[in-house]
């Protein structure tokens, strides 16, 4: 059987996992397959509510501009709908009090924006839009436990119902294409071994970063402060981080982070005390004035993991991986939702490319390429952190030279609007990393002085 994906070969596609990456993959596949089935371990809530299958769902999430553009391309009008639900829009650097590498950022005019708001709100809206398509079905309360087929081709997936009273006997669901969107805890290696195929090599980089999150009712308005949020960014010489962002409805999410062996406590009484370890008391002072609304939730699974399906190996046609099941990042960089959406756009382009036959390997490479810049940013920063482990933690001579240059870029990004704009465009995945090597940025980084920045937290925007 030919290894070709697309309308002539894919009658039924199955997507394992109903989170953002899986839902958007299903949206794209509905343009090519006669029928698409999303298989989800949980029962989908009717409203915008947290669910167990999104273990990071209670924590900080942002939708950066690369993801915004991709979502509007996949689901036209999506961002207007999200804004209509009250998701706060935050401009950088205008709306944030930010400290990084020993400098406060000047709060000049915003050059990029991100949406802050509950993850479950965004996912609920995507789910509503995707399942409005009659070609997309869902099987809830059911987990994938294996693949049907052999090392040459996948022909379906083995499913098992979950919950009290459910049958524990696996049953097959035939498919021409199976997409693994089951997240960073994917069992695809076992599934592939079960049909005589090889699992992909996993690249890993783990700083041991952990964080704790709590939701607060915002303090009373202060006329001397017009910031929407606060961000203290950790770096190798200062490993504690803290973020405060609006959720809407007068609520803010507060996340504190630290490294292995010195993790933020989930003890409510110690949460504010831990915030006092940050290099400035601005976040601790904010917490002291706010009203806590939830317990402190901890999260520890923050390793960068990339599964190299693009490399040679005995793997079957008709099986793809996307989202965190393909490439998962340290969540502190806020890239996950954007990459899930950008991967779906890459899937659409690869399947519709009139110049190339959409084989499994070719489409899988396109999906990996969609995550490459985010990986380079996340892994590039994390390998400099003390105690980083994993085979992707090694640095070579080129890494050292690049790191020296990018440190100079960051020093100027805090006060130089031209450098800052380029830096933010790269971080939000709307410009390639090569933008940081454009002539104006090179001149500033190599020969320009480090611009003067605020000596204290800039609680009001910079005029002009």
When pLDDT is averaged across residues 291-299 and rounded to a whole number, the result is: 94
Checking if the pLDDT of 191 tops 50, the result is: yes
* Predicted confidence band of residue 1 (pLDDT cuts 50, 70, 90): very low
This prediction's pTM? 0.94
Question: What whole-number distance in Å separates Cα of residue 261 and Cα of residue 460?
Answer: 36
Kindly report the length of the chain. 464
Checking if the pLDDT of 8 tops 90, the result is: no
Checking if the pLDDT of 233 tops 60, the result is: yes
Chain-centroid distance of CA 447 in Å reads 35
To the nearest whole number, what is the mean pLDDT of the chain?
A: 93
* Predicted confidence band of residue 181 (pLDDT cuts 50, 70, 90): very high
Question: What whole-number distance in Å separates Cα of residue 303 and Cα of residue 390?
Answer: 9
Domains, the chain, ranges and CATH?
A: 12-61+123-204+303-380 (3.50.50.60), 209-299 (3.30.70.2450), 397-447 (no CATH)
More confident residue, 179 or 398: 179
Nearest to 16 by CA among 138, 128, 133, 124: 138
When pLDDT is averaged across residues 359-365 and rounded to a whole number, the result is: 95
How do residues 392-418 score in pLDDT, each as one tens digit? 998 888 888 999 999 999 999 999 999
User: β-strand 35-39 against 12-16: which pairing, if any?
Assistant: parallel
Burial of residue 71, with CB atoms counted within 10 A of its CB: 0-12 exposed, 13-18 middle, 19 or more buried: buried
Angle at 72 between CA 69 and CA 77, to 5 degrees: 140
| Alpha-carbon distance values, 359 to 12, 22, 355, 366, 443 (Å) | 16, 20, 12, 11, 44
Question: What whole-number distance in Å separates Cα of residue 329 and Cα of residue 415?
Answer: 28
Cα atoms found within 13 Å of the Cα of residue 56, Cβ hemisphere only: 24
Checking if the pLDDT of 164 tops 80, the result is: no
When pLDDT is averaged across residues 177-199 and rounded to a whole number, the result is: 97
Nearest to 425 by CA among 114, 46, 75: 114
Checking if the pLDDT of 319 tops 60, the result is: yes
Report residue 75: phi and psi, to 5°: -130, 80
When pLDDT is averaged across residues 277-301 and rounded to a whole number, the result is: 95
More confident residue, 54 or 256: 256
| pLDDT for residue 50 | 77
């Amino acid at each position: 059987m030919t290894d070709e994906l697309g309308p002539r070969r894919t009658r039924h596609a199955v997507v394992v996992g109903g989170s953002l990456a899986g839902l958007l993959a299903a949206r794209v596949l509905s343009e090519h397959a006669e029928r698409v089935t999303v298989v989800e371990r949980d029962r989908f809530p009717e409203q915008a509510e947290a669910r167990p299958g999104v273990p990071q769902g209670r924590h900080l999430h942002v939708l950066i501009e690369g993801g915004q553009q991709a979502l509007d391309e996949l689901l036209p009008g999506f961002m207007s709908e999200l804004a209509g639900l009250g998701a706060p829009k935050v401009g950088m650097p205008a709306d944030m009090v930010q400290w990084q590498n020993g400098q406060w950022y000047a709060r000049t005019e915003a050059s990029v924006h991100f949406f802050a708001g509950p993850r479950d709100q965004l996912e609920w809206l995507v789910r509503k839009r995707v399942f409005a398509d009659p070609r997309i079905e869902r099987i809830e309360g059911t987990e994938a436990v294996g693949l049907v087929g052999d090392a040459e081709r996948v022909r379906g997936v083995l499913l098992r119902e979950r919950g009290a009273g459910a049958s524990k006997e696996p049953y097959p669901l035939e498919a021409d294409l199976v997409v693994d969107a089951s997240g960073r805890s994917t069992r695809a290696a076992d599934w592939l071994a079960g049909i005589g195929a090889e699992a992909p090599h996993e690249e890993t980089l783990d700083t041991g970063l952990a964080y704790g999150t709590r939701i607060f009712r915002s303090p009373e308005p202060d006329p001397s402060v017009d910031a929407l949020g606060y961000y203290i960014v950790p770096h190798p010489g200062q490993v504690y981080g803290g973020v405060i962002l609006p959720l809407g409805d007068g609520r803010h999410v507060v996340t504190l982070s630290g490294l292995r062996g010195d993790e933020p406590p989930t003890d409510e009484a110690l949460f504010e005390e831990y915030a006092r370890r940050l290099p400035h008391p601005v976040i601790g002072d904010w917490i002291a004035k706010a009203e806590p609304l939830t317990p402190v939730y901890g999260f520890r699974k923050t390793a960068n993991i990339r599964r190299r399906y693009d490399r040679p190996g005995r793997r079957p046609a008709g099986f793809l991986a996307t989202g965190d099941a393909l490439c998962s990042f340290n969540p502190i960089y806020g890239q996950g939702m954007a990459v899930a959406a950008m991967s779906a756009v890459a899937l659409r382009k690869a399947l519709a490319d009139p110049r190339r036959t959409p084989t499994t390997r070719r489409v899988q490479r396109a999906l990996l390429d969609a995550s490459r810049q985010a990986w380079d940013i996340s892994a590039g920063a994390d390998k400099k952190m003390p105690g980083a482990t994993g085979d992707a933690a090694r640095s070579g001579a080129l890494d050292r030279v690049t790191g020296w240059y990018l440190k100079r870029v960051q020093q100027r990004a805090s006060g130089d609007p031209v450098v800052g704009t380029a830096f933010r465009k790269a971080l939000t995945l709307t410009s390639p990393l090569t933008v940081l090597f454009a002539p104006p940025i090179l001149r500033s980084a190599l020969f320009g002085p480090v611009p003067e920045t605020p000596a204290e937290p800039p609680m009001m925007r910079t005029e002009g």
